[in-house]
Amino acid sequence: MLQPHTTKAVAATKPTVAILGAGAIGMLVYKQLSEFTQPILLGRDLIKEHALTFEPFSKEATSETQIIEGMMCDVNTITHTQLASVSLIIVCVKSYQVTHAIRPLIDNLPQHCTLLLLHNGMGPHLDTLALLAQHQRDDINLYLGTTSQAALKCNKLHVRQTGTGKTMLGHLKGKKLTEKQLALLTQAIPDCHVSEDIRLALWQKLVINCAINPLTAIEQCRNGQLAKPQYQARIDNIIDECVMVANADGVMLSKPTMVENVYQVIALTANNYSSMHQDIAHQRQTEIHQINGYVTSRAKYHHIATPVNDQLVDDVNSL
């Protein structure tokens, strides 16, 4: 590997953007934003930290490692004063951790601050809305997002980008982001776009995750393994059930398009391990209930049978 070089986040009078979550995607987005502004990275046990190590995506055997110096704070000790200038918080944690991560900040959030939820699966936005209502924070705006960027957390503050992809953002509640905020996000995050129908974008990503994540976890394989013929029927059935539920939910998906999208992602990420595979490999809680489990819960609401997705939830839970 080439010798690292150190870069400092672009100086700003006061930080206006925070990244909540020092996982792989959180650190990747922090690095990307650091080239244009001075964000704050919020995580656990970051009191004495001030830099992260970043390896950019490369198809070559070696890539130039970068040391990104910037602002990092512990989420449990950050004060209202430290957050006072922040108008946008990008929440990059596991889907089942969203409300738990937001809760310590809820009373210190600046008025009219925007939360952007950027995670796998669907459903946490409903819990977030309930949390905001419980704390009488109707002034907080909410955006939802999804990203196909891929990254691997090598250790506490060392991240390697393992894939590129589209990021979609969409408004859910309250005031919309300003042109300046949108310009920052779309400039800093490669292939980042604003969607007028974020539910469609989220469902499209959900179907891909439903097909790839549980199978790679169960089969203990890389994504590319799923291109083999023995998985075709199972993937087809997963997509079929997902499309039926999405359509019943008012989100019109095309099965042929989704099949094409799933196999395109399998090909583009052939050498990668899915996040669910990694969760199982490291004995961590998975996001199965926010991925296939979200489909089965919506299916029950619409009285639709989803035996394949039901079985996948059971199989992953038993690993």
Query: What pLDDT is stored for residue 68 in this prediction?
Result: 83
- Residues 66 and 211 reside in one and the same domain: no
Mean pLDDT, consecutive 10-residue segments, the chain of 319 residues? 51 79 94 93 78 83 78 86 93 95 93 95 94 96 94 89 92 95 96 94 96 98 97 98 97 97 93 93 95 97 98 97
What six digits make up the tokens of 124?
């946490």
- Residues 224 and 97 reside in one and the same domain: no
Number of domains in the chain: 2
- Residues 171 and 262 reside in one and the same domain: no
Q: Structure pTM?
A: 0.90
What six digits make up the tokens of 319?
């690993």
CA–CA separation, 28 vs 32, rounded Å? 6
Domain boundary among 196, 227, 246: 196
- Residues 87 and 147 reside in one and the same domain: yes
Q: How many C-beta atoms lie closer than 10 Å to residue 218's C-beta?
A: 16
* CATH number of the structural domain spanning residue 309: 1.10.1040.10
Tell me if residue 61 falls in helix, strand or coil: coil
- Residues 270 and 169 reside in one and the same domain: no
CA 34: distance to chain centroid? 18
Residue 189: name the closest of 16, 12, 24, 36 by CA: 36
Domain boundary among 147, 179, 196: 196
CB-based burial, 107-146: b 16+ in 10 Å, e otherwise: eebbeebbbbbbbbbbbbbeebeebbeeeebeebbbbbbb
Backbone torsions φ then ψ of 142, nearest 5 degrees: -135, 130
* Active-site residue set: 205
Query: What pLDDT is stored for residue 22 in this prediction?
Result: 92
Domain boundary among 196, 214, 248: 196
Tell me if residue 142 falls in helix, strand or coil: strand
- Residues 103 and 13 reside in one and the same domain: yes
- Residues 142 and 257 reside in one and the same domain: no
- Residues 188 and 206 reside in one and the same domain: no
- Residues 48 and 186 reside in one and the same domain: yes
- Total count of residues recorded for the chain: 319
- Residues 62 and 168 reside in one and the same domain: yes
Contact yes or no for 31/64 (Cβ under 8 A): no
Residue 132: name the closest of 82, 76, 173 by CA: 173
Query: What pLDDT is stored for residue 9 in this prediction?
Result: 53
* CATH number of the structural domain spanning residue 70: 3.40.50.720
- Residues 94 and 21 reside in one and the same domain: yes
CA–CA separation, 219 vs 215, rounded Å? 6
- Residues 242 and 223 reside in one and the same domain: yes
What six digits make up the tokens of 161?
């980008």
Domain that holds residue 252: 200-317
Query: What pLDDT is stored for residue 2 in this prediction?
Result: 43
